[in-house]
A and B are shown apart, each in its own frame.
Chain A
Amino acid sequence: MKKIEAVIKPFKLDEVKEALNEIGIQGMTISEVKGYGRQKGHKEIYRGAEYIVDFVPKLKIEIVLEAAMADLVVETIRKAANTGKLGDGKIFILPVEEAIRVRTGETGKDAI
C-alpha cells in the first residue's frame, strides 16, 4: 500500500477530484494547509499599511491506495493540478504498513 500526499493550488481541487473520480478513486482526505517552497509569500498594501502573506494557502490531498495504482494516481494529479506556473505544488509517495477499518476491523486492501 502507498499513501499519496499532494499539495496543490486551492482552485485546482475540483479538477483534481474529477480526474481522480474518473480513474476510480473514491475516497480522499482534504485539508487546508499553508506553507511555502519556492513560491514565497508576498506583501500587500492597503492605504499605507502592509499585510504580509508569509505562508501561501494550499490544499493537501491524501489518498491511501494499492501500490499498483500509485503511478496512475500520481500522474493524474500531476496533470490535473498543473498550471505550468510556480506554486503548482508537490506530490509525495509514502509506504503504508497497514490500514484498518475502524467499524469492521478489516485490514489491508479491504480497509482502503
Chain B
Amino acid sequence: MKPINQGRDHTMLNSEPAGLLLPVEHLKQKRVLLIEQFLEKKLPNFMIAHSNILDAYFSESFARYEPLQEMTRKNPLVLVAQGGYGRQEQCIHSDVDILLLFKKKVPPEAEAFIQSLLYPLWDLGLEVGHAVRSLKECISIGKIDFQVLTSLLDARFICGEALLFDDLVEEIRKQVLNRQTDRLIAWQVENNRNRHAQFGDSSYRLEPNLKEGRGGLRDYHVMLWIAKIISNPAEGRKGLEDAGYLSRDEFHMLSNALAFIFVVRNRLHHLAGRKCDQLYFKHQIRLANELNFDEKKGQKPVERFLGKLHGQMEFIKQLNRTFLYEIGYARGLSKKRPEPEPDCAPGIVLRKGRLDFSSEREAALGPGLLMKIFEESARLQVPLSSHARRTLCKLLDLMDEPFIASRSAMEAFEGILSAQTQGFSVLNEMLTTGFLQKFIPEFDGIVHRIQYDTYHLYPVDKHSLRTVQTLKNFRWLPETDPFYHKIIKDLSNPTLLYWAALLHDIGKGEAEGNHSAVGEHLVRNFFSRRGYSPEDVETVSFLVAEHLLLAKTATRRDTNDEETSIVCARRIKTADRLKMLYLLTVADSMSTGPKAWNEWTGTLLRDLFLKTLGIMEKGEFASSEAIARVEQKKARVVAAWPASEKEVPGKLIEIMSPRYLLYSSAEDICDHIRLFQTLGNEEVVWKIAPINGSGTRTVTVCAKDRPGLFSKIAGIFTLHNFDILEAQVYTWRNNIALDIFKVKAPLDTLFEHEKWIQAEKSLKAALSGQLDLSSALQRKLRESRHIKPPAGIRPDLVVVDNGSSNFFTIVEVFTHDFTGLLYGVTHALFQCGLDVWVAKISTMVDQVVDVFYVRDFDGQKIEDPAQVQKIKSAVLEVLTVEKPEAFHASEKDQAF
C-alpha cells in the first residue's frame, strides 16, 4: 500500500487560478453523480462512463502539468489504460491500472509528474496500480512475465503520444504474441485451471466469487485474452463473435450474463465500501431487494436472485470450458487425444475430440438423434462440441410428448443414467443444454433453485446430479469406499436407485408442502405414465418419499435400542430397498455439503443401517406376516378391555418389546397385563395355570426386573422340586420382567397348592435377601444323587455368538439334563455380570438346548475375547461339576 497524504507536492496544482475546478475535483464530483445515477438504475453504461471520467482526469492532468512538454520533447510519453480499466470495465472500487510508457529511458523528472498524477487519486480512495517503463523494458518484461503481458493485452490509449501506443501494440504482437503464441495460450489455460482450483466453482457456491471463481468474470477474460493472443479481434467482446469464437446467440447471452454480473459486482462494491468480489451472505438479501427480485412460487427474493446469478455464471462457465477445449484441440495443446477415434452411431461424428451431428438437417428430422448424441457421449466419454450444443438447443422442441414417454427413449436415458463415468457428467451436459428439463419436465422446477442457508451448498438441480454422480463413484471407483461399493454391487436393480437420486428433491420445485411427499407424488405419476411395473414405481417413489428417514432416525433416535431398527425395518420392508435407501442417504448427504456429511454422521448412519439390515435378514420381526400378526394382536388385546379402560392396554402395548408381541398370543398378553395390574408395590407376583390334562403347569412370573432374577426363579423351582421343561424371558420397557416357565407338576399332587405357596414364599425371601438361595441349593443338590445317562455321547458345548444379533450376545448351551441345570447356568451367567434378556429353554429327551440372549449390566454386548472365554469356562464348569461322577463340594462352591 502506498502512503497517503504524505510527502506529496500539490503546490503546482494549488497555484492554479481560482474558479477553475482542479481535475481531481472534477473527477470527484462526476464520480459521485455517476454512482448515484447507477444506483438509481438510470445509467446502463456505468462502467464506460466511469472509465471515461478517469480518462478525462488523466487528459486534463496531462494538459495542466507544465514541465511535461519539456520532459517529453525528446522522449515521448503515452498514458495507457490496462486491465479492467483498459477494457472499460471500471467498477466502483476497481483498481485503476495504468502504464506510463516512455519511448526511451524513463527520465528522473518523471517521478514528480507521477506523484502529481496519482496522489489525488489515492486521496479519493481509489486504488491505483501503475507501471512506468520504457518501450524496450516493456517488451522485454512482456516476453518473460506473462502476467505483465496479459495486462498489456487490454491496453487502451488514454492520452499522450498516440504513435508510441501504436508502436507498443505492434512490437508486442511482433516480438511476443506471434512468436510465443502456443506457450502463451498454454499459460493462460494453466492459469485458468489453477484459478478454478483455488476459487472453486462459483456457479455452485453459496458465496460465489464474481470475478475469480469458475463461471466468474475471469472465465470470460481468459477467452478474450486467448482470442487476442491469436488474432487480435478488433473490439473486445464483439470481436469474439466476429472472429467466429461465439455464435450470435452465445454472444447475446454472454452480453446479458456479463451485464447482470457487473451490475451485481458494482452494487456489491458499493455495499461493501471496497473492492469486494466475494458475494458474502450478509449482502445477498439486500442486493436481491435492490435488484427488485420478488417472491415467487415459494422462493424468497434472495433465492431467486442467487438462482439467476448461478444461471448466468453457469453459462459463462460452460462457454469457457467449451472455448478452451476447442482452442486446445485446434492448436494441438490437448494432451489426451483418443486414438484412434472410435466409430459413432449414424448421424453423429467425432470431430477434434468432440461429438457433433453429421448434419443439422439430419438432426432436425426427429428427436431421435438428440438422445443419440448423449448416448454416444456417455459411451465414449466425450463432450458435445459447441456446435452440437447450439444445434441441440435450437431443436429441443422436437421432443414431443410421445417421444419423451416412449419406452425406447426411457431405455436410452436409463443407459446414460447408469453409465460408467470418469469425471465427466453427461447428465450435466443434458442439464446445461436444457435437454434434461425437456425430457423430465418435473425437473424444470428445481433448475437453479437455491435454498438460502449455509447447509445446502448447491442449487437443487446441481445437487441432484451430484448425488447421482456420488453413487456412480461408489459403483465404479471401488477404492474410494469399499463399503458402499460392496453394497451397491449387491443391488438387484441399481438403475432404480439412480432414478431416485436424480429425482429425490424434485418436490422442492413446488411452492407448497413437504418436499418428500410432493416428490413422491410427482415421481409416482412420472413413472406410471411411462408404463413402469407397479413394483418399480413403488420402489422409486418409496425412496423419494423416505429419503430423509435414515438420516433423521440415526441422529434423533437411540440406535442402540432394538426397537429403533425394528421400526425402520418394518417401514422399509426389504433388504434391497434398505440398501438403496442407505446409499441414497449417504450420497445425498455427501452431495449436500460438509455440514450434512462428516465421519461422525457416517458412523451413526452405518450403525443404523447394519442393525436394521440384521433385523431384516433374520426376518423375524420385520417380515410382512410378522407385522400383520403383531398388528392383529394389538387390536385384539385392546378390544378385550371395556371402552372406558382401553388406555391401560394401549399404553402397555407401546412398551412391550417386538419380540414379546410376536411370540405371545393375544390371550396371554391379556393375562399378562392383568397379572401386571396386580403387581402394585410387590416385588413379584405369579400365576400358576395347569395345562389341560397333562402333568405340566405354566407359571407366569411378573416382577420388577433386576440382574439375576431369572436364575433366582429357576433356583426356587429346583429347590421345591419343580422340574423345569421350558422357560421364556421377556422384558418390557417399563423394566418389568415376564418370565414364563413350563414345569412338571409334582408327582404327588395332593398338596400341590400348598407347595406353590411355599415356593412363592421362598422366592420372596430370596429376592429380599432373607434366604441364601445359593447355600440352600448346595445342600439340596448334595443330598440328591443324579441318575445321568452315560457321559460322552455328545460332549457338552457352550457357544457364544456375537454375530447373529446386533443387540445381544447369544449364549447357547448343549448338554444333558440334570436337576439344577438351569439355575446353575443362569447363575453362572449372572456371576459373569450378565443380564438375561431372552431365554429359550427346551429339553428334547435328554438333550438340552438352552439359548440365552444376554447383555452386561450396562446393556452392552460382550465382545471382549477374554470375557467371552470367561463366560464359556464358567458355564462349562457348571456342566462338568454338576455331573455326579465329578461331584466335589469344594469345586461346586466355586461354581456358585
Contact = CB atoms under 8 A, between A and B. Distances in A.
B860 A32 contact: no
Interface in A28-64: 32-34, 38-40, 42-47, 49, 51, 53, 55, 57
Contacts of A85: 558, 560, 858-859
Interface stretch (B23-31, B34-42, B108-116, B601-609): B601-609
Interface in A1-51: 9-11, 14, 32-34, 38-40, 42-47, 49, 51
Given A46-B487, A47-B486, A51-B483, A39 B860 contact: yes
A83 interface: yes
Interface in B237-257: none
A49 B483 CA distance: 9
B603 A34 contact: yes
A57 B605 CA distance: 11
Contact of A87 (B560, B604, B607): B560
A44 B806 contact: yes
B803 interface: yes
Nearest to A34: B600
A40 B486 contact: no
A102 interface: no
Contacts of B558: 9, 11, 83, 85
Nearest to B602: A57
Nearest to B579: A46
B557 interface: yes
B632 interface: no
Interface string B545-563: 0000000000111111000
B528 to A, nearest CB: 34
Interface in B604-621: 604, 606-607, 610-611, 613
B859 A86 contact: yes
Given A44-B806, A46-B486, A57-B604, A86 B610 contact: no
B408 to A, nearest CB: 37
Given A44-B806, A45-B803, A46-B610, A86 B486 contact: no
Given A51-B483, A87-B560, A11 B555 contact: yes
Given A51-B483, A51-B606, A51-B610, A32 B600 contact: yes
A20 B207 CA distance: 33
Q: How large is the interface on B (under 10, 10 to 19, 20 to 34, 35 or more residues)?
A: 20 to 34
A45 B557 CA distance: 21
A18 B787 CA distance: 65
Q: How large is the interface on A (under 10, 10 to 19, 20 to 34, 35 or more residues)?
A: 20 to 34
B290 interface: no
A40 B855 CA distance: 13
A11 B556 contact: yes
A11 B557 contact: yes
A47 B575 CA distance: 13
Interface in B525-548: none
Contacts of B283: none
B547 to A, nearest CB: 20
Contact of A42 (B557, B858, B860): B860
Contacts of A10: 555-556, 604
A53 to B, nearest CB: 6
B735 to A, nearest CB: 8
Given A45-B610, A46-B486, A85-B560, A53 B860 contact: no
A15 to B, nearest CB: 10
B744 interface: no
Contacts of A47: 486, 490
A32 B557 CA distance: 16
A40 B558 CA distance: 16
Contacts, number: 62
Contacts of B860: 39-40, 42, 86
A49 B487 CA distance: 12
Contacts of B66: none
A29 to B, nearest CB: 16
Contact of A53 (B483, B487, B607, B613): B607
Contacts of B557: 11
A3 B600 CA distance: 25
* Max chain A C-beta neighbours (<10 A), residue from B483, B487, B559, B600: B600
B873 interface: no
A46 B616 CA distance: 13
Interface in B785-809: 803, 806
B603 A57 contact: yes
A47 B606 CA distance: 14
B846 to A, nearest CB: 35
A76 B196 CA distance: 50
B492 to A, nearest CB: 15
A24 B555 CA distance: 25
B677 to A, nearest CB: 23
A45 B835 CA distance: 24
B387 interface: no
Nearest to B855: A86
A58 B559 CA distance: 12
Contact of B863 (A42, A83, A86): A42
B493 interface: no
Given A38-B858, A39-B858, A44 B606 contact: yes
A76 B558 CA distance: 20
Interface string A58-90: 000000000000000000000000010111000
Contacts of B863: 40, 42-43
A112 B890 CA distance: 67
Contact of B598 (A32, A42, A83, A86): A32
B632 to A, nearest CB: 31
B861 interface: yes
* Max chain A C-beta neighbours (<10 A), residue from B482, B483, B555: B555
Contacts of B806: 44
A49 B486 contact: yes
A86 B603 contact: no
B819 to A, nearest CB: 36
A28 B566 CA distance: 34
A55 B613 CA distance: 22
Nearest to A43: B863
A86 B600 contact: no
A86 to B, nearest CB: 4
B483 A46 contact: yes
Nearest to A56: B603
Contacts of A39: 858, 860
Contact of B556 (A14, A34, A53): A14
Contacts of B486: 46-47, 49
B864 to A, nearest CB: 8
Contacts of A86: 858-860
B595 to A, nearest CB: 10
A49 B478 CA distance: 15
Given A34-B600, A39-B858, A86-B858, A44 B556 contact: no
A45 B861 CA distance: 14
15 contacts: A10-B555, A11-B557, A32-B600, A42-B861, A44-B611, A46-B483, A47-B486, A49-B482, A49-B486, A51-B483, A51-B606, A53-B603, A53-B607, A57-B604, A86-B858
Interface of A: 9-11, 14, 32-34, 38-40, 42-47, 49, 51, 53, 55, 57, 83, 85-87
For the complex of A and B, the 3 pairs showing the least CB-CB separation, nearest first, are A86-B858, A44-B610, A32-B600
Given A33-B600, A44-B610, 12 more contacts: A10-B604, A11-B558, A14-B556, A39-B858, A40-B863, A42-B861, A43-B863, A44-B607, A45-B803, A49-B482, A53-B603, A85-B858
